[in-house]
A and B are shown apart, each in its own frame.
Chain A
Amino acid sequence: MFTGMKSGTATRGIVVWLIVALLMAACAKNEPAANKGNSSESPKDAPVVTALMNKATDFPEDNPVIQEIRKQSGINLQVQTVSVDDYEKRLNTLLVSNDAPDIFVVNDTKIKELIDNKAILPLNELLEKHGSNITANRGDDLKGGAYVDGQIYGIPEGFASGNSLAIRKDWLDKLNLPVPTTLDEYGTALKAFVNDDPDGNGQKDTIGVGLAIQAMQTWVHIFGAYNVPMGRQVMTDGKVTPWMLAPGYLDAVKYLNKLYQEGLVDTEFSTIPSLQSFQKLWNGKVGAYNFNADGITQNWLSRYVEQPAPEFVYTLIKGPDGHGGYLDPNLANSPKYTVISSKAKDPEAAMKLLNFLVSDEGDALTWAGVEGIQYQYKDGSFEWIPPYEDAVKLRDSGGYVYSVLLNKKDGMRESLFNDATKQGRQIAADNLIDEVRLFALPQVQIDKGTILDDMEKEFRTKAMMSTGDIDQMYESFKQKYLAEGGSEWIEQATKIYQEEQAARQ
């Protein structure tokens, strides 16, 4: 009897304990790990500013770089990091639960919604008081997509990707070909790349131009040759028209079809994941590749497997009317904006911190890290202190990672580019395709953008691989696209354009 009682009490105890534990677990608030970080580096009375940012790799919450940022800015910055894939979800959760961090980065499709719902602050006064570096660095770019009714709501990301066509110079030399500048010359070069064994291994295993439906940048030069700004819009007959309905688009697709049928593009462009597409370039199998110059001739240098390393030259391919070009970097119309929450306890401190990030010191810290730890100047020239020449090691020690909060335009990053990269960025900057600048997005783009964009990708893919009547396919695609939201898009975009022109004159 006694034993029975005892075990009964014990069981009851365990059950009660389990319930309490469960309730505790369910009710406990998920405290951001960053708050537990070491804040002893900043002065005791320093104002606290919280921020949410995405991260590509795991790095310690407490590191020399953030300590230095706190010390130099005099602001106790507490950063909550979340992986790139979960960023949007986490931000939405924080916004809905009224827990938004003081500083966060939003994409262009979300900014209007935040302004309409007064979730973020207008920055004019704050910029005037504490944002001198930002206004000096961004200038008119501040009056872009986050500029509504005379108020600046977000600071645009300030980096032009310098996306242009890189060609294997060593292969061209080997095959005695000039650097192509017209579609005809380009076709000749691609044919030689595929058929004349430029890598000299005796096998027909090289690809002309590396295209991948997942990597949008790879296509830009071909549409550019037909004056079509990929992913943007043009003016036709007084209406703002999306690029896939622009004159020239169909001709570009027909040209792509010809390249595909002649076997000059990567045959698996529709299925290949971006990384595998890059790998083909890194493995020395691709002759022409359109991508960010700071990738091809800068960050990827350690990835190329060939010995000696491949040589690239950037070029511009001109189309039938003698024009060609690349996408307007349009920094005012940034895909991302840094904003300050309307719930921020100390907006002035938040602005001071952002202003620090755009200063020379802040730029060096967020880009390269701490001088003497991650990098040094030797005889006036920059060099990494081993092992930080490795991008992953640098990120793991806090270098580079904080630049996603806010960077400096034409800062340390741009000044450290090598000559080849600078040439690529220059070609891209000097040859822009005409486009209509829209600062606000049409509502239908916000609601169904991915679906509309996917319709174009589907058409482009099918048309390229088709042996049938492309004109007819295009006609049917156009009808479907217009019915699914394209007509609304044109109507809304035209209206936005007219309003913006009237308001900004």
Chain B
Amino acid sequence: MKGSTGTLKRREESAWLQRLAAIRKDKLLYLMALPGILFFLVFHYGPMYGLVVAFKDYNIYQGIFASDWIGFANFQTLFEMSGFRRALLNTVIIGFYQLIFVFPAPIILAILINEVLHAPFKKFVQTVIYLPHFVSWIVIGGILYAILSPTTGIVREAAEWFGHDGAVINLMGSVEYFRSILIASSIWKEAGFGTILYLATIVTIDPSLYEAAKVDGASKWRQLWHITLPGLRTTIVILLIFHVGNFLNVGLEQVYALYNPAVYEVGEILDTYLFKLAFENAKYDLATASGLFKSLVGLTLVLLTNYTAKKIDRDSGFI
């Protein structure tokens, strides 16, 4: 008995020694990683203690620890607000639209760009479509207003040019079109930048596959279906998991820059609602509760998608 415990201990010790030896061997690498690890600990894990605010009646003068615990009262308050429920519903709808329309846009765009044969033109197109990503939503809000304003906008000029004489519809203020404007502007701004990863993946697909397919008489569509898309599959799944993790983050900046009281009904999302509550009225506890709720939904969706992806294809997903 005694002997076997000793062996076990020795084995544990030697495992430790081995690990220590491995660390010592690459100590410079570890040392170089240290600032990064510290950064994450200090700036990403440290502040997480602030999450307890979600369960407290937070008073900024008392501080996080001295404020009173109130259990789930903040969550209850949130769900009792009809504005919050409406915002949640809008967020889910807009998130769903984004999943269907915004997520696939860069994939299609990447495939289209990949088919461009003239190299300088291809580079030019790539550069041009990356640009909108770097423009802030506030600026885009101004640009959209300049385009869509029914009195001074380009839409009006265009309508007049086509001989339309009456009033022009105010697209930014119409309940029917507002979500479409959100989706369209999202695609316009982000689809180009989103192609980077897909294009990088397409480059790694073995060209001999296409040659073989051509010899077998496969059309462009067939090549796309049987070679390009399967080659992109892993990337698509990983990006999909990222995307659903942010399902409820449909874009505070974007909606805040574009919406107005005429479209609150369809455009108010959790982030904008909470922004008004948290920053304009300083209810940090409610905002944290909502943030925590959103993160939990995001985490659940990530795990679900990951699980489904693994079921369908063992090589997909992360965990």
- Residues in chain A within 8 A of chain B (CB atoms): 8, 11-12, 15, 18-19, 22, 26, 88, 92, 95-96, 109-110, 113, 117, 119, 207, 213-214, 263, 266-268, 270-273, 276, 280, 446-451, 454-455, 457-458, 460-462, 465, 480, 483-484
Contacts and interface: CB of A to CB of B under 8 A. Distances in A.
Given A19-B35, A272-B149, 9 more contacts: A22-B35, A22-B39, A110-B282, A267-B151, A268-B172, A271-B145, A454-B264, A458-B264, A462-B262
B264 A12 contact: no
B277 interface: yes
A15 B61 contact: no
Contacts of B104: none
Contacts of B262: 270-271, 458, 461-462, 465
A183 to B, nearest CB: 24
Contact of B83 (A92, A267, A451, A460): A451
A117 B61 contact: yes
B277 A448 contact: yes
Contact of B32 (A15, A272, A480): A15
Interface in B16-73: 28, 31-32, 34-35, 38-39, 42, 59-61, 63
Contact of A454 (B32, B63, B276): B276
B283 interface: yes
Contact of B150 (A8, A268, A457): A268
A214 B262 CA distance: 12
Interface of B: 28, 31-32, 34-35, 38-39, 42, 59-61, 63, 81-83, 142, 145, 149-152, 167, 170, 172-173, 260-262, 264-265, 273, 276-277, 279-283
Contact of B261 (A11, A96, A213, A450): A213
Contacts of A270: 170, 173, 260-262
A477 B134 CA distance: 40
B82 A450 contact: no
Given A11-B28, A92-B60, A462-B262, A450 B280 contact: yes
Nearest to A11: B28
Max chain A Cβ within 10 angstroms of own Cβ: one of B149, B151, B283: B151
A268 B173 contact: yes
A267 B261 CA distance: 14
B140 to A, nearest CB: 13
B150 A267 contact: yes
B261 A454 contact: yes
Max chain A Cβ within 10 angstroms of own Cβ: one of B151, B152, B261: B261
Nearest to B171: A271
Nearest to B172: A271
A455 B83 CA distance: 9
Contacts of A465: 262
Nearest to B273: A451
Contacts of B63: 96
Contact of A268 (B61, B81, B170): B170
Contacts of A484: 81-83
A207 B28 CA distance: 71
B151 A480 contact: no
Contact of B281 (A19, A109, A461): A109
Given A451-B83, A451-B276, A461 B42 contact: no
A446 to B, nearest CB: 7
Nearest to B284: A92
Contacts of A207: 151
Contact of B42 (A11, A26, A213, A272): A26
Max chain B Cβ within 10 angstroms of own Cβ: one of A15, A92, A272, A484: A272
B60 A451 contact: no
10 contacts: A18-B35, A213-B260, A214-B260, A267-B151, A271-B172, A448-B277, A451-B281, A454-B264, A461-B261, A462-B265
Contacts of B280: 449-450
